[in-house]
Chain A
Amino acid sequence: MASQYNFKGIADASPAEGLAGKPHGNHSLTRQPSVYSLTFDEFQNTWGGLGKDLGSMNMDELLKNIWTAEETQAMTSSTGAGDGSLPEGNIQRQGSLTLPRTLSQKTVDEVWKDLLKESTVAKDGNKGGGFNMPQKQPTLGEITLEEFLLRAGVVREDAQQVGIPNNSGFVGDFPLLSNSTGLGLNFQHPSQNNGFVVNQVAENSKSIPGQPHNLAFNVGSIRSNQQQLQQQHDLPLLPKPATMPFASSISIANNSQLPGLGSRGAVGMTDVSIKSSLVQGGGLQTSVGMAGTQWIRLHSHPYLIHSPRGRKPGSALEKVVERRQRRMIKNRESAARSRARKQAYTLELEAEVQKLKELNQELQRKQEELMETQKSQILERVNRQWGGKRICLRRTLTGPW
């Protein structure tokens, strides 16, 4: 579709922008074939030891598999580029993303069916056409992971979360634009998109923390998506306090924004918006270079969550996230200390054993020597006493006759 086409163009155009903005140039944009650009079929075949047909998997499991696959790929493909962030990222990633409760329990198949239904409806609304966008293959096997997640995240959210409070944990101090045209316009300019999104958020959220925050950002974008959609459907936007439950607000569609596809949130889009926001936000590290390639990376630096600007009183959500990360870091350090303790103990024990063995040997040798000297001393004494004649037998008495 046109909007989608635009989007892709933007995505390609803005990596430079995004790169410029990101303080943390860890990720090589040259890293390629992202897991997300694989279709389901390819994914299943390549990363195949999944053991289950992807279709019947839960969304949660699908995500896990994708992460594993991406990790594997990342490990093999980026050797130097990953540096410290990669291994940490891989571990740290786990706690940071959960699907909205509504999504995670569904299987991929179900989600796909719903997607087809809704996209048909949406398409009718937007395009007047009755079927999916040309670029999206109508079969689950042929859709790329990226698009699937994209559409899944958005559509799900849409249906369920009309009344969900705005997430105020949005990133950065974006200029508020008054441009609140339809979704299609979002693609025109990345900055505009951003502004649009931010605008939405700003209007609807009570407080926008100035602190770029990975997860908060994601959530914020979701919120903004909802708002956008809601606007589209003329639903009243209710600014609500950002105290929504953490679980429901974080989803893969984190960075969702540009609904050009009729769906929001999702990997590709996210990247664009993230990039623009990153440029503006400044403090956020890890921009996403390419559409759909590194959104996971965003979550791989919890260590760097605290921007140099210092922590501003953010939403409760942000605090929860921070707390979680801090705890995780503390746990890691504690584990490292424990391992060091254990290792030091073992080393010391081994050294002791060695010392004791040597001492033992030494002592035994001495013992031998002592015994030898003792024996020879005794022999000497005995010899002296008998003068050398001791073996002689002499007759001392003769029997009477």
Chain B
Amino acid sequence: MSDPLVVGRVIGDVIDCFATSVTMTVTYNSNKHVFNGHELFPSSVTTKPRVEVHGGDMRSFFTLVMTDPDVPGPSDPYLREHLHWMVTDIPGTTDATFGKEVVEYEMPRPNIGIHRFVFILFKQKKRDMVRGPSSRDRFNTRQFVEDNELGLPVAAVYFNAQRETAARRR
């Protein structure tokens, strides 16, 4: 139980157990690095982050998915999940700006409780084979993976966020 992804139930609620094979770094505003389980303010994540893929090569392509599994609230997430961003065909060793933004980045707006926002990176079998979903709502990562034959993730990271004005550390 020493993996934050497991302890934070990301592995379980969103994806299945996997072995990290690619290093992915996600950074907001060039100074806010995303670490597992750290909290970020909604005001810090209004624009899309820089997602670097340190692995693979120029001939391998990756898909990035950003979802919120705690909609509308973590105690009763009956709308699980909400898709915030999807970029496909990211070439290895580059970043997300080199991919195809299939679903535009939507800034997180957690209203009830503390939400997890998960970035998951998959390796595509080949270029141009991933179809974006029809809607952001009721997104199911596992189903999406199955539909697009993406297999297990190669990297994942998540951060926590709650309402900007919520009571923290009381």
- Cβ of B146 under 8 Å from chain A: no
Interface digits, B70-92 against A, CB 8 Å rule (1 contact, 0 not)?
A: 00001100000000000000000
- Cβ of B63 under 8 Å from chain A: no
Q: How far is the CB of B91 from chain A (nearest CB, A)?
A: 26
Interface digits, A295-332 against B, CB 8 Å rule (1 contact, 0 not)?
A: 00000000000000000000000000000000000100
- Cβ of B55 under 8 Å from chain A: no
A344 and B75 contact, CB distance less than 8 A: no
Docked pose: A348 CA to B3 CA in angstroms = 8
Q: Which residues of B contact A351 (CB under 8 A)?
A: 4
Interface digits, A341-352 against B, CB 8 Å rule (1 contact, 0 not)?
A: 101110111011
Task: From B32-40, B46-54, B102-110, B119-127, give the one contacting chain A.
Answer: B32-40
B75 and A348 contact, CB distance less than 8 A: no
A340 and B9 contact, CB distance less than 8 A: yes
Closest to B10 in A: A344
Q: Which residues of A contact B2 (CB under 8 A)?
A: 347
Docked pose: A337 CA to B7 CA in angstroms = 10
A347 and B3 contact, CB distance less than 8 A: yes
Closest to A338 in B: B114
Docked pose: A351 CA to B38 CA in angstroms = 13
Interface of B, secondary structure class, is loop
Total chain B interface residues with beta-carbon distance under 8 A: 15
Interface digits, A270-306 against B, CB 8 Å rule (1 contact, 0 not)?
A: 0000000000000000000000000000000000000
Total chain A interface residues with beta-carbon distance under 8 A: 14
Q: How far is the CB of A307 from chain B (nearest CB, A)?
A: 22
- Cβ of B160 under 8 Å from chain A: yes
Given A333-B75, A337-B74: A344 in contact with B114 (beta carbons within 8 A): no
Closest to A331 in B: B75
Docked pose: A330 CA to B77 CA in angstroms = 13
Docked pose: A349 CA to B7 CA in angstroms = 13
- Cβ of A181 under 8 Å from chain B: no
Partner of B8 from A330, A333, A344, A352 at Cβ < 8 Å? A344
Docked pose: A352 CA to B35 CA in angstroms = 9
Partner of A341 from B8, B35, B75 at Cβ < 8 Å? B8
Told that A344-B8, A347-B2, A347-B36 touch, could you supply 8 new A-B pairs with CB distance under 8 A? A334-B75, A337-B74, A337-B114, A340-B7, A344-B7, A345-B38, A347-B37, A348-B38
**Residues of A participating in the B interface, judged by any CB pair closer than 8 Å:** 330, 333-334, 337, 340-341, 343-345, 347-349, 351-352
Listed by A's residue number, 10 A-B pairs whose Cβ atoms lie within 8 Å are A334-B75, A337-B114, A341-B8, A344-B7, A344-B8, A344-B36, A347-B2, A348-B4, A348-B36, A351-B4
